[in-house]
Amino acid sequence: MNFLHGCLLEPLALLLLATASVAHAQSCVAPIPFQYEFSNAATTSLSAATPSDPCALSVAMDANARSTGAGFLHYQGAPLTSARYSFQLDTSALTSFTSPVQRVQIFSVNGQQTQPQQSHLLIVMLMGGSPNPTLRILAGTGTGTYLQAFTPVSLTQTSNVLRFEITIGSGTQATVSYWINHDFTATPDGFVMGLENDVYGGIVGAELGLSSPSISFVTAQNGRAVVFDQIQSSDDALFYDDFSGGAQ
């Protein structure tokens, strides 16, 4: 329970701490539907990586960050029953990142309806590991519990392309599928199955970046950036045409 509490973001805290930096204030345009940047006790930048790759999100925790420290792109929109997300994760700047007590949330997908103690359909945690970091993938059931990939997912290098597909379903028909350095056309590298998450009412948003860090992560890695690049999503329809600044 303590582990999950460290993973979850408090909506009220986000409303109070969020600074809505509209994409045009940056040196690039955030990929739809990730249009807004939020930061608290973190150094965050959104800038052009290469001419063919318009946006890279760089986030480093400040030395005074606590569990509410965060820097991420966020959106919210109309509900869908399935969605795909893809991004490159570069952890090469992290040093001595070998212990799983060093952990930080890097990605989450939100449901339309908040369930008891459980507002997320998907939470992806980055954890220290040797020789490379690992991922802990948690999927919401809508009953106040999470199912997870059976073992932490080991990354093969310090720069990896991560892909996720989330489906809404009832009667244990819903799934979360993931690919590590493979295209969506390949067989998934793993699943979280047996989910009954239709009580969420659909997928309405996502957050990509760093949030809910452990104290061990902040102590060991403050000032060292994790970079998110090649950000893509299948659910551009979730982005409201009249969406304007501020936490949603």
For 8, the token pair is 């979850």
Could you report the per-residue pLDDT of 185-206, keeping only the tens digit for each?
999 999 998 898 888 889 998 9
**How many Å separate Cα 49 from the centre of its chain?**
20
Q: Name the residue ranges covered by the structural domains of the chain.
A: 2-238
Report residue 147 as tokens. 């199912």
pTM exceeds 0.95 = no
Residue 21 is predicted with a pLDDT of 34
Q: Tell me if the bond preceding 188 is cis, omega within 30° of 0.
A: no
Residue keyed to tokens 């996720």? 164
For residue range 11-27, what is the model confidence (pLDDT) as tens digits? 322 322 333 333 333 35
50 vs 229: CA distance, rounded Å: 10
- Where does the pLDDT of residue 122 fall: very low under 50, low under 70, confident under 90, or very high at 90 and above? very high
| Per-residue pLDDT, 236 | 62
Residues 15-62: tens digit of each pLDDT: 223 333 333 333 576 777 787 889 999 999 888 655 555 678 999 999
In this predicted model, which residue has the larger pLDDT, 54 or 118?
118
pLDDT confidence of residue 172: 86
State the average pLDDT over residues 75-99.
92
What gap in Å lies between CA 203 and CA 239, rounded to an integer?
12
The contacts of residue 5 (CB under 8 Å, 6+ apart) are: none
CB atoms near residue 196 (< 10 Å): 15
The predicted structure's pLDDT at residue 59: 96
Of 112-116, 146-150, 162-166, 206-210, the poorest mean pLDDT is in: 112-116
- The class that CATH gives domain 2-238 is mainly beta
